[in-house]
Structure 1
Amino acid sequence: MTVDPYGDERLVELYDEDNRPGADHEYFLKLADGATKVIDFGCGTGLLTRAFVQPGRVVLGVDPSATMLNYARRQPGAEDVTWIDGDAGAVLPAGDADLVVSSGNTMMHITTDDFPWVLEALAAALRPGGVLSFESRNPAARAWEQWGPEATYSERDTPAGHLKEWMEVTEVGNGLVVFDAHNVFEDGVDTVYTTTLYFRTVDELRAGLEKAGFGDVEVYGGWHEQQLTDDSRLFVVRATKP
């Protein structure tokens, strides 16, 4: 995982605005029905994490970005969440969580070498019968082809001032896509965040989950459990610890 993909407080404050709750949040919250302990792995600003909070439920938010977590801790309801600064190695193998979720591109940030042990760490946090669910982009949809400067350039006014932003893909190959996100505020400084995403096929996801000890692996083509097709833009993955 990237150590701190959002090191600029100005960008963190825009994150929730750019990633409003939608069908993804509805899906994860429905999975949490009846759960007494939920772990949000890669929680970011904690928008989804805080939505899990209800009486009698333990909620943990885990993220390697100190900037993100500092913002999350200042939000309404943050006191009802246990925030953990770190990667999967910081998730205790307590074996008592009912649900682990990972939203956005979190699982795609994980390198090929790290993917097996991360899945094992998440499995160790779950009770028998507990569920892991996350999303991953379908490599066949080739989303990165739409991430060029011309397609992604925009300008907007923000609380921190006028912002120009765009994306530029710098490397593609063997399931790996690297891109630079450019962010230019009125001071003229181009703050560039380089992101590496690992696009995995359904077979690769299934194999990794099964090797980590998961069973009953289901992969859907969308948040409403649509049937998976070659044209599915998104994989919605759900796996159960036996």
Structure 2
Amino acid sequence: MFTDADAAVLYDLLNPWDPGHQPGDAYYNELITAADSVLDVGCGTGAMLAFARDHGHRGRLVGLDPDTAALDRARRHTGIEWVEGTAAGAAWTAEFELAIMTGHAFQSLISDDDLRASLAAVHTALRPGGRFAFETRHPQARAWEGWNRSDPADVVELTHPTGGPLRVWHEVDSVAGDLVTFHGTTARPDGTVLRTDHATLRFLDAAALDALLAEAGFEIDAHYGDWMRGPVTGASREIIVVARRP
């Protein structure tokens, strides 16, 4: 059996946090370093906050995630508050200078009701002047078209510490409006399937994002189209947002 705990380890293998080599990681690490208190919404296995603590951050660091197995792995890192729960259920009031959602976690907020509740809770958790930073895949890039095992870039082969050699790929099940439903497969090199995980992501454009953020009481500080803080253009694959609680 390939357990939830095994999947959490696999996530770290597939997504190593490395600000020295990954521009997106460097971007967020810079924001965290400059903030005295940080809420990581959808923290997963906690690698981002653990890196910040290990590299000298002395302020308050809090990770929030609904995935029990991921949080169990995050709790290996001490000196950080790990909280099991959803963005919509966050109950802090004016406690953070910075809130962050990385790894395209924002796209897991599917319905308008969940988006509104989540944004309202993040807004409430921030101090006046606090910022909310996140990224979402720009729908114009149609990233989901590369999520299939016939695309060599989507098939990853690696060795898991307990699962041994593995092959991981994705396949799209449906595209309906701005919702893309897909599944990820973890298998042996011979094709024996160990685990299949299903997910739906929402792809919103900048205008829709701005409207939802404004409704929640945010002001937009910046939109970027790349990790070097370039503008959003017709070729951008990302919409990177910084919003502020007035």
Task: Using structure 1 for the length normalisation, give the TM-score.
Answer: 0.90
Stretch moving more, 220-229 or 7-16: 7-16
Structure 1 residue identity aligned to 2:101 = S
Structure 1 residue identity aligned to 2:38 = V
Secondary structure, aligned partner of 2:150: helix
Distance of aligned partners of 1:96 and 1:155 in 2 relative to their CA distance in 1, 3 Å threshold: closer
Q: Is the CA contact 2:33–2:52 (under 8 Å) kept in the aligned structure 1? A: no
Deviations 1:159-184 (A, max 9, x none): 22121222110010211001110112
Runs of 5+ consecutive residues of structure 1 not aligned to the other structure? 1-5
Residue 83 (structure 2) aligns with: 84
Residue 121 (structure 2) aligns with: 121
Secondary structure, aligned partner of 2:24: helix
Stretch moving more, 83-92 or 106-115: 83-92
Distance of aligned partners of 1:183 and 1:43 in 2 relative to their CA distance in 1, 3 Å threshold: same
User: How far apart, in 2, do the equivalents of 1:52 and 1:107 lie?
Assistant: 21
The percent of aligned pairs where both chains have the same amino acid is 33
The partner residue of 1:227 within 220, 225, 231 is 231
The answer on 1:176 being equivalent to 2:186 is no
Deviations 1:139-164 (A, max 9, x none): 00001111112113344333221212
User: How far apart, in 2, do the equivalents of 1:138 and 1:8 lie?
Assistant: 30
The partner residue of 2:65 within 60, 63, 66 is 63
Residue 164 (structure 2) aligns with: 161
| Matched pairs, number | 234
The Cα shift of 1:224 comes to 1.1
Structure 1 residue identity aligned to 2:69 = T
The Cα shift of 1:8 comes to 2.3
The partner residue of 2:212 within 187, 208, 221 is 208
User: How far apart, in 1, do the equivalents of 2:231 and 2:35 lie?
Assistant: 26
Q: Is the CA contact 2:149–2:169 (under 8 Å) kept in the aligned structure 1? A: yes
Task: Using structure 2 for the length normalisation, give the TM-score.
Answer: 0.89
The Cα shift of 1:11 comes to 2.4
Stretch moving more, 10-19 or 226-235: 10-19
The answer on 1:23 being equivalent to 2:23 is yes
Deviations 1:205-229 (A, max 9, x none): 1111111000134210011101110
**What does residue range 129-148 of structure 1 map to in structure 2 within 5 Å?**
129-148=129-148
Q: Superposition RMSD on alpha carbons, in Å?
A: 1.9
Distance of aligned partners of 1:104 and 1:154 in 2 relative to their CA distance in 1, 3 Å threshold: closer
Runs of 5+ consecutive residues of structure 2 not aligned to the other structure? none
